[in-house]
Structures are given as structure tokens and as C-alpha cells.
Amino acid sequence: MNKFLDEILEQPTALKDTLAFYESGAGKDLLEKAIALYKDKNITSILLTGMGSSFFTSYLASCLLNAYGIPASAINASELLHYHFSLIRKDTLLVCVSQSGESYEVVELLQKIPGDISCLAVTNEASSRLAMMGTGVLLSKAGPEEMTSTKSYVSIALVKLIFSWALAGEWTGTKRAEIRQLIDNIDELLKSHQNWMPEISHFLGEYDYIEMIGRGPAWSSVNQGALMFKEAVRNPAGGSFGGDFRHGPMEMVREGFRVVVFAPEGRTFDQSLKMAKDIARFNGKVIIITNKDLNLSDPNIYVFRIGIMDEYLFAIGSIIPLQFMVNSRAIELGREPGYFTRGAKITKTE
């Protein structure tokens, strides 16, 4: 039995249920109340926070909000609690994100903020403390999850993108159609993984460490990918902004170095592709995850194309091959993927 793989395969259903929830009924009402919370409270900026996966998707949402001219930032909940608390002001909409709704730092933060601060809770658990303590709430519909985050990650990422589009007045039929196309693409990736995953494993070969590199919205996938390797495989991994990697970390690259570069079409595609080619030139092995048609003959480069053209939805779809890489690597090393041995699914201590 491989519960981690089971939960990977449940992602299309989680995304379909999440989309359907916000198209009508109770979910539509919650979304409208969340928008009103921003517009009726003289809010001038949005501060998104969370831990781990919840923080990574917060960064994704902040990229989209800022692209629409809505000032937003994302800060790790522990850092916000201890070092940046003064950023929380009456004109700030605090968006607290926790899949379980019980993460220690997020709950502590909510207990500490003054009563006049507006807090939008984003969680997978309607009965959690986060959901109960928020001024407003947005729910994902991932369903129960026991292992390293997969379906709750993509579902909560989608919730925050829907909120961001709605706030910007862009929650349209076109966007909904793009999300349905995303779900279809993910469904196809899941059904065909036994065809493409062996090729990736063969290309990577043996490795003790793997790096992830990306820019903008893809930074969410970078960090989620690295976290999954560390948590679900119990193997060293790292994540870097594309710009940062040239400022020193490039010195790591040599024969035996393994890296995944996220390179969607967008503002920084050219920089990401150049990064991948330079790493290959220094004898590192590079998997490029992209939505572009690339014809590269370099033996140190493996191109994995997914047909998701929106740069923000790409951040959701591009995590799928990483999930299978994590599952495959854990099995290769004789480890049960996604199973917690030194912690728990819900972190209730600091």
C-alpha cells in the first residue's frame, strides 16, 4: 500500500471539488464575503502568512495580487510572529493559511493580534481553530490527507488564486475554463505517469542531493518540491530563486549535480532557460519543466512539457512531476514515501 501515491492520484477530484465549491452556493458566498472584507474595511495592503506549503502558496498569491496592482506580501508565520509583527496594522488584511487550521505559529499569531485586525482564514478544515477565529474564511476541498502535502497543497493554491482573481475583478468564465483545462492536464499526467516517470529516473540516475530553481510564481513549486524531498524521501534538497543561484550557488555545479528548473512562458522565461543551459554546460543534469516547445539536444538536459499556459496555474500543474519524482526516489531508497518518522502531519509546537 502506498498512501502517498493514493493521495497524489486524488488531486483531480480535489481540484474539481474546490472549483465547484466557489462557482455557486456556500463557496460563492464565502468568496463574496472575503472580497467585502477587503473592500469595506479601508484596506490598503494584504499580508499573507503560513508555514511550509501554506507559506509557499502565499507567495504565489502575492505575485498575482501585485501583478494586478494590489499591494501584497508574504511572510513566514513564525517570522511574522516574532520579528515582523509591526507590519500588521488596521489597514492590513491579514490572510492566515494553514491546511489543518491548527498550525502552532498561525494559531499563536491569531491569539496575539488586536481585535480590530481583519483576518481572512484559508484552510482545509472548517471546524479548525483558524476557521473559527478568522473574520472571514475560505475553504479548500481537498478532503482528508495523511501524508506529505499533495492534494491539500494544490487545492489551497487554487483557493488563493481564485480569491486573487476575484479581488482583481478577473474571476471570469475564461479563468474557470483555464482551471478546467488545468485539471484535465493533471488528470492526463497522472494516468500516464508510468510512461514518463521511468525516463526521468533513468536520466537522473543516482544522486544524494537535488536543487530546485525558479522565479516568480514558480518559486512556490521550487520550495514545495524541495520540502517534499526533505520530508517525504528524507533526502537533502534545496530551493533557490533563479536570480540568487548565480550569486554564489552556481559554484556547486559539477558532474553529479542534479537540478530541476521551472521555466514557464512569462517575464523570466529567457533567464530561466539560460540558467538551465549554463548548468548543463558545467556538467550538471537539468530537468526543465516548461509549457514551451523546446528542441534541445544537450544530453545533460531533459525537457518535461506540461500544457498549462497561464503562469500562475502552471505553478500548480508543475508540482505533479515533482510529486512522482519524490515517490519514485523514496521507493528506490527503500523508504515509505510521505510517512512521518520524527514529526507529525500537524505541527503543534514551536
Q: Residue 350 above 70 pLDDT?
A: no
pLDDT at 341 over 80: no
Q: Is 337 exposed, middle or buried (0-12, 13-18, 19+ CB in 10 A)?
A: buried
Helix 319-332, helix 219-228: angle, nearest 10: 20
pLDDT for residue 265: 94
Task: Kindly report, residue by residue over 274-327, the tens digit of the pLDDT.
Answer: 999 999 999 999 999 999 999 899 999 999 999 999 999 999 999 999 999 999
Mind listing the pLDDT tens digit for each residue in 77-92?
Answer: 999 999 999 999 999 9
Q: Over the stretch 94-111, which tens digit does the pLDDT of each residue have?
A: 999 999 999 999 999 999
Share of the chain above pLDDT 90, in %: 90
Burial class (CB in 10 A: 0-12, 13-18, 19+), 144: exposed
Whole-model pTM: value is: 0.95
Q: How far apart are CA 270 and CA 266, in angstroms?
A: 9
> pLDDT of 168-195, one tens digit each?
999 999 999 999 999 999 999 999 999 9
Q: Is the pLDDT of residue 345 over 60?
A: no
Give the mean model confidence (pLDDT) for residues 328-342: 82
Strand blocks (E) in 182-295: 210-214, 237-241, 258-263, 285-290
| Whether pLDDT at 349 is above 90 | no
Is pLDDT of 72 > 90? yes
pLDDT for residue 338 is more than 90:
no
* Residue 344: band (very low, low, confident or very high) from pLDDT cuts 50, 70, 90: low
3-state helix, strand, coil in the chain (%, to 5): 50, 15, 35
**The cell 500562475 sits on which residue?**
312
Lowest mean pLDDT of 110-119, 211-220, 341-350, name the range.
341-350
